[in-house]
């Protein structure tokens, strides 16, 4: 496989990952995606209603679904980078 074919294949795979993420959010509009942070926050508030967080987020996504999407894309990009680096070093 030539370098150009590999780059093309990788771009197609990246576009497919993004499309799957976007389509799944569109299909499951009413689904509730909550992470461990949200569940922990709700439990803390239930145990101690007077608790005040000492840190506020710099950016608050408009919904939990968008937050999950951003987290998943961050994880996918990180895993892709690590996989690429390991493959590159092994091929060297």
Q: Give the chain's domain count.
A: 1
The three-state DSSP-derived secondary structure of the chain is: CCHHHHHHHHHHHHHHHHHHHHHHHHHCCCCCCCCHHHHHHHHHHHHCCCCCCCCCCCCCCCCHHHHHHHHHHHHHHHHHHHHHHHHHHHHC
pLDDT in tens, 7-35: 999 999 999 999 998 888 788 777 776 67
Residue 42: which domain range? Answer: 3-55+64-91
Please give the model's pTM, rounded to 2 decimal places.
0.43
């Amino acid at each position: 496989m030539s370098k150009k074919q590999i780059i093309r294949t990788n771009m197609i795979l990246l576009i497919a990952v993004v499309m799957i993420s976007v389509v799944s959010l569109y299909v499951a509009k009413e689904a509730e995606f909550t992470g461990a942070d949200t569940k922990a926050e709700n439990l803390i508030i239930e145990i101690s209603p007077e608790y005040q967080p000492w840190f506020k987020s710099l950016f608050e996504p408009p919904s939990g679904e968008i937050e999950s999407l951003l987290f998943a894309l961050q994880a996918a990009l990180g895993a892709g980078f690590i996989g690429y680096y390991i493959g590159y070093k092994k091929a060297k």
